[in-house]
Amino acid sequence: MRDAPDELDPPFEVLEPETCAGPILFNSPHSGAIYPREFLAQCRLDLGILRRSEDTFVDELFAGVVGRGYPLMRAHFPRCYVDVNREPYELDPRMFDGRLPSFANTRSMRVAGGLGTLARVVGEAQEIYGGRIPVDDALKRIDMLYKPYHRALRRLFTRLHRDYGAAVLVDCHSMPSTAGGRDDRPRPEFVLGDRYGTSCTGVVIDCLEEALRGLGYGVSRNKPYAGGFITEHYGNPVAGLHAVQVEINRALYMDERRFERATGFAALAADLETAASRLGDIPLEELRPYRAAAE
């Protein structure tokens, strides 16, 4: 776990540039690798299997954007402990002892697949817990981690919007190099998601795709990942709020079995800095609300 402590103090952090260069905010919600002891005691799986759900090293890949003048927010807690890229109460009642709040979303497709706010499975649909866990445990994780994370993220995003009249959230993720199971076809090097054109103005995703293709990478849009809760709920182009999800093929930068950086790590990190700077070159007039409304 990268020699990390086993307690969440702090549970997340914001890396701020000395001088802000523009309205771009980077977010790495799934790169956390600190597994609390109490959680591990509840799990029936070993740590190596749990870690398959991490976006391992993604926060480090994007850390160079801070030197370019853009803030980076990153979680320290793992997504299988609590997933901030879900609704706050997207929960499977079969997981818990006790009654969930009446407002919990218990019927989403993500819950059905075992990937709610508290995941039921990781990897090849492997059950995380040996039995039911107290419902109060779930509510505590949401209150202590999920909600503060989103308050901080929203505050950062709002500040940029106030200062520049527009803001762009780049939600940073990674994906396994293959889908697993019987589908062993390699995935693209990058997948950019804008919820099929609804979470950001076209110039944002166009700029990212052109930058990455210009650096020699293969890029696809919205398939198999169009963006999750964060992309959907933070993006509001008509208001000058833009959100785009970036998925990076893990084979580009790490050994997926050993959780070790590969030789291409530094080169990819440098290329991501370049892509961030290209985003920052977009004229503010093309991001502000009147521009989005005109489109």
pLDDT tens profile 134-183: 999 999 999 999 999 999 999 999 999 999 999 999 999 999 998 765 65
Structure confidence at residue 7 as a pLDDT band (50, 70, 90): confident
Angle between helix 265-280 and helix 202-214 axes, rounded to 10 deg: 140
Instruction: Give the residues across from 236 on adjacent strands.
Output: 241
| Domain ranges, residue 58 | 12-82+144-294
d(CA 292, CA 236): 9
Does residue 210 carry a pLDDT above 50? Answer: yes
Residue 110 within a domain: no
pLDDT at 186: 76
d(CA 220, CA 136): 41
Q: Which element (helix H / strand E) includes 157?
A: helix 147-164
Residue 18 within a domain: yes
Residue 271 within a domain: yes
pLDDT at 291: 47
Does residue 292 carry a pLDDT above 90? Answer: no
Does residue 3 carry a pLDDT above 50? Answer: no
pLDDT at 180: 63
Structure confidence at residue 6 as a pLDDT band (50, 70, 90): low
The average pLDDT across 29-36 equals: 97
pLDDT at 1: 45
End-to-end distance of the chain based on CA atoms, in angstroms? 46
Q: Domain tally for the chain?
A: 1
Query: Is the pTM of the predicted complex or chain greater than 0.75?
Result: yes
Residue 187 within a domain: yes
pLDDT in tens, 259-289: 999 999 999 999 999 999 999 999 999 999 9
Residue 125 within a domain: no
The average pLDDT across 225-231 equals: 97
pLDDT at 187: 83
d(CA 92, CA 4): 30
Residue 42 within a domain: yes
The average pLDDT across 181-188 equals: 70
Q: Give the three-class secondary structure for 159.
A: helix
Q: Do residues 8 and 36 lie in contact, with contact meaning Cβ atoms separated by under 8 Å?
A: yes
Based on DSSP, count helices (H) and strands (E) in the chain, helices before strands: 10, 15
CATH number, position 160: 3.40.630.40
pLDDT at 244: 98
65-69, 113-117, 286-290: least confident range: 286-290
pLDDT at 124: 85
Structure confidence at residue 123 as a pLDDT band (50, 70, 90): confident
d(CA 145, CA 79): 11
Structure confidence at residue 290 as a pLDDT band (50, 70, 90): low
Q: Do residues 252 and 197 lie in contact, with contact meaning Cβ atoms separated by under 8 Å?
A: no
Mean pLDDT of the chain: 94
pLDDT in tens, 35-60: 999 999 999 999 999 999 999 999 99
29-to-21, 55, 114, 232 alpha-carbon distances in Å: 22, 8, 19, 15
| DSSP category for residue 220 | E
Reply yes or no: is the peptide bond before residue 289 cis, omega within 30 of 0: no
Instruction: Find how far residue 95's CA is from the centre of its chain.
Output: 24
Residue 98 within a domain: no
Q: What is the DSSP string of 193-262?
A: E-TTTTSS-HHHHHHHHHHHHHTT--EEESSS----HHHHHH-BGGGTEEEEEEEEEGGGTEETTTTEE-
Residue 134 within a domain: no
CB atoms within 10 A of CB 7: 12
pLDDT at 280: 97
Q: pLDDT higher for 190 or 290?
A: 190
